[in-house]
């Protein structure tokens, strides 16, 4: 099959979160399975400078009388296309600065969506399926329908918490037929809601874990769209993300002080000591290190950790946190690091090397998410030998199994993401820590799990096939 992916992020040069990692891995996994796969992204500053894309003479007419220049590249058999429009995409950040989105988000992302569709018209061979990822490209199904194009569209929801809501007065900027601003299109309570429009207008909807696909149909976790999703459940499938097992491998990772693997763990001891030093923690073999690598956001439960720091430190734990996002959460983190020197270290910023050293040096990986569509960091942590201590939600439920000391199975600790739940989770983690043999066993269980994209590929193929050849396949439902 020929599939075109459209997204606003691509690791490593245009990344805010896991969406970027998935765009760098899933298309390649589909190529390996024999499909023709392309990916369109905005030519963000980081991508332009990466050297991975080269400028071509090709331009497409997009919106509001503006054109986009096409840049091309290739990675692992995936044809890469970058839409160049510097006034929109040659910026310091991908979405906004200082915790505030850029004021022209709608102009930027409608341009991306329409540009991708214009490009799709001229690709040879024509893609049979366009997979759109998150709200930024949520207008793709609307443009495909408005232009009467034959491609099928799949809307993949990586995070329902971000929907792309704009005022009704912005509708005209998108240059779509009037009829699209209706309840059966992208109108939602009088506003424009790009993700809601994509969910309704796409031929199929996927989300990034089976548990999340169920949660979002409930009021509590549906971010206002639960009824829409429930109505559309016949075309909704939850497919668990994988990770790039080659790019994330502790035995070959150049960011680590020393490589290690499940059969030779001595390198990990060095990584742990190096992490203590790098983060300015006291050297203490007897005290566990809890690591976090996270967007600083309420949904990630960072505030729960801040509220629980005192208890954690009192029980002998230490904490290293790397993250950026909400300025209030960042500031509180800095304050706590000053209050507990050598026990709590907080780095505000984005640093992929340090992220890898936290996965490879911490004893536990803390992720008290209140909502987690899939989550990749807990999988990286397990692969790098940090035992996950996670909120019992979404993809965390589907990837971390609670350690059972009697049956001797499990890979980590799960808790209800509340202050009490977190306290209980930390107690259970410390109980594992206090028994070194158990610690090794839980760690080994996580390190030997297979997180490759192997299982996801056939699930996506099934969705695509059900659209291209609806009679030959039954559509999957949950």
Residues binding ligand ADP (CB under 6 A): 17-19, 21, 293-295, 322-324, 350-352, 355, 374-377
- The nearer residue to ligand GLC, 310 or 352, going by C-beta atoms, is 352
Burial class (CB in 10 A: 0-12, 13-18, 19+), 393: buried
Using CB under 6 A, pick the residue from 241, 294, 378, 466 that binds ligand GLC. 241
Q: How many angstroms separate the Cα of 255 from the Cα of each of 197, 274, 277?
A: 42, 12, 15
CB 152 within 8 A of CB 24: no
Residue 466 contact, options ligand GLC, ligand ADP, none, Cβ 5-8 Å cut-off depending on partner type? none
Residue choice 22, 281, 358, 447 for contact with ligand GLC (CB under 6 A): 22
Residue in 17, 127, 288, 323 binding ligand GLC, rule: CB under 6 A: 17
| Ramachandran class of 189: left when φ > 0, alpha when ψ lies in -120 to 50, beta otherwise | left
Q: Do 278 and 354 form a contact (C-beta atoms < 8 A)?
A: yes
Q: Which is nearer to ligand ADP, 102 or 350 (by Cβ)? A: 350
Residue 322 binding: pick among ligand GLC, ligand ADP, none (C-beta 5-8 Å cut-off by kind): ligand ADP
CB closer to ligand GLC out of 171 and 453: 453
- Nearer Cβ to ligand GLC, position 205 or 281? 205
b/e sequence 31-58, b meaning 16+ C-beta within 10 Å: beeebbbbbbbbbbbbbbeeebbeeeee
Shortest distance (Å) from residue 205 CB to ligand GLC: 14
Q: Which is nearer to ligand ADP, 149 or 350 (by Cβ)? A: 350
The residue among 44, 54, 49 whose CA lies nearest residue 20 is 44
CB-CB contact of 453 with 248 (8 Å) = no
For the record, the structure tokens of 150 come out as 């034959």
Is 294 or 445 the residue whose CB approaches ligand GLC more closely?
A: 294
Per the rule left: phi > 0, alpha: psi between -120 and 50, beta: everything else, 98 is left
Name beta bridge partners: 154: 131, 204
Minimum separation from the CB atom of position 214 to ligand GLC (A) = 15
Instruction: Indicate the DSSP class of residue 370.
Output: S
Smallest separation (angstroms) from ligand GLC to the CB of 98:
20
Nearest-approach distance from CB 11 to ligand GLC, in angstroms = 11
Tell me how far apart the alpha carbons of residues 246 and 411 are, in angstroms, rounded to a whole number.
21
19 binds ligand GLC (CB under 6 A): yes
210/375 with CB nearer ligand ADP: 375
373 binds ligand GLC (CB under 6 A): yes
Question: Which of 6, 8, 18, 243 lies at the binding interface for ligand GLC (CB under 6 A)?
Answer: 18
| Residue 151 interacts with which of ligand GLC, ligand ADP, none, CB < 5 to 8 Å by class | none
395 closest CA partner among 242, 264, 247:
242
- CA-nearest of 349, 346, 400, 404 to 375 is 400
Beta-strand runs (E) in 297-361:
318-325, 344-348
From residue 159 to residue 188, what is the string marking binding to ligand GLC with x (rule CB under 6 A)?
x-----------------------------
For ligand GLC, the binding residues in 208-237 under the rule CB under 6 A are: 208
Which of 276, 245, 243, 270 lies closest to 256 in space, CA to CA?
270
Q: Which is nearer to ligand ADP, 194 or 322 (CB)?
A: 322
The residues in 374-403 that bind ligand GLC, with binding defined as CB under 6 A, are: 374-376, 395
From the list 29-37, 45-53, 280-288, 366-374, the region that binds ligand GLC by CB under 6 A is 366-374
Work out what residue 324 binds among ligand GLC, ligand ADP, none; the CB cut-off runs from 5 to 8 Å by kind.
Answer: ligand ADP
How many CA atoms does the CB half-sphere of 206 hold within 13 Å? 26
Query: CB neighbours of 295 closer than 8 A, spacing ≥ 6?
Result: 16, 17, 323, 324, 325
Q: Could you tell me which stretch among 16-24, 34-42, 165-173, 214-222 binds ligand GLC (CB under 6 A)?
A: 16-24
Contact positions vs ligand GLC (CB under 6 A): 17-19, 22, 158-159, 208, 241, 372-376, 395
């Amino acid at each position: 099959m020929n599939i075109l992916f459209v997204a606003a992020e691509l690791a490593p040069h245009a990344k805010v979160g896991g969406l970027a990692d998935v765009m760098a891995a899933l298309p390649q996994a589909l190529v390996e399975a024999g499909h023709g796969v392309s990916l369109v992204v905005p030519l963000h500053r980081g991508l332009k400078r990466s050297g991975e894309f080269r400028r071509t003479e090709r331009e497409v007419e997009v919106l509001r009388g503006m054109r986009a220049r096409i840049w091309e590249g290739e990675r692992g058999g995936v044809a890469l296309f970058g839409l160049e429009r510097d006034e929109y995409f040659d910026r310091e950040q991908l979405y906004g600065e200082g915790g505030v989105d850029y004021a022209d988000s709608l102009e930027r992302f409608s341009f991306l969506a329409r540009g991708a569709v214009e490009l799709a018209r001229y690709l040879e061979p024509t893609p049979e399926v366009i997979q759109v990822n998150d709200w930024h490209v949520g207008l793709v199904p609307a443009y495909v329908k408005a232009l009467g194009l034959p491609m099928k569209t799949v809307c993949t929801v990586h995070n329902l918490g971000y929907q792309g809501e704009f005022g009704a007065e912005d509708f005209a900027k998108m240059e779509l037929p009037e009829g699209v601003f209706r309840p059966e299109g992208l109108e939602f309570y009088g506003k424009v809601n790009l993700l809601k429009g994509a969910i309704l207008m796409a031929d199929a909807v996927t989300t990034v874990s089976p548990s999340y696909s169920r949660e979002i149909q409930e009021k509590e976790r549906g971010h206002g769209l639960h009824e829409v999703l429930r109505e559309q459940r016949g075309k909704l499938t939850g497919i668990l993300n994988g990770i790039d097992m080659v790019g994330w491998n502790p035995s070959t990772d150049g960011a680590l002080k020393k490589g290690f693997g499940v059969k030779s763990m001595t390198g990990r001891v060095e990584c742990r000591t190096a992490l203590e030093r790098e983060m300015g923690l006291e050297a203490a073999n007897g005290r566990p290190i809890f690591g976090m690598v996270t967007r600083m956001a309420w949904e990630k439960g960072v505030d729960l950790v801040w509220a629980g720091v005192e208890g954690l430190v009192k029980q002998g734990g230490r904490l290293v946190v790397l993250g950026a996002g909400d300025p209030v959460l960042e500031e509180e983190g800095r304050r706590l690091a000053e209050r507990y020197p050598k026990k709590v270290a907080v780095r505000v910023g984005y640093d992929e090397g340090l992220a890898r050293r936290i996965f490879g040096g911490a004893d536990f990986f803390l992720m008290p998410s209140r909502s987690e569509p899939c989550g990749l960091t807990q999988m990286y942590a397990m692969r790098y030998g940090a035992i996950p201590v996670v909120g019992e939600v979404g993809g965390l439920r589907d990837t971390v199994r609670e350690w059972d000391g009697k049956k001797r199975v499990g890979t980590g600790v799960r808790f209800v993401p509340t202050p009490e739940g977190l306290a209980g989770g930390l107690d259970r983690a410390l109980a594992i820590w206090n028994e070194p043999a158990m610690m090794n066993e839980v760690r080994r269980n996580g390190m030997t799990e297979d997180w490759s994209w192997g299982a996801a590929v056939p699930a996506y193929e099934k969705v695509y096939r059900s659209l291209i050849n609806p009679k030959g396949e039954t559509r999957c439902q949950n």
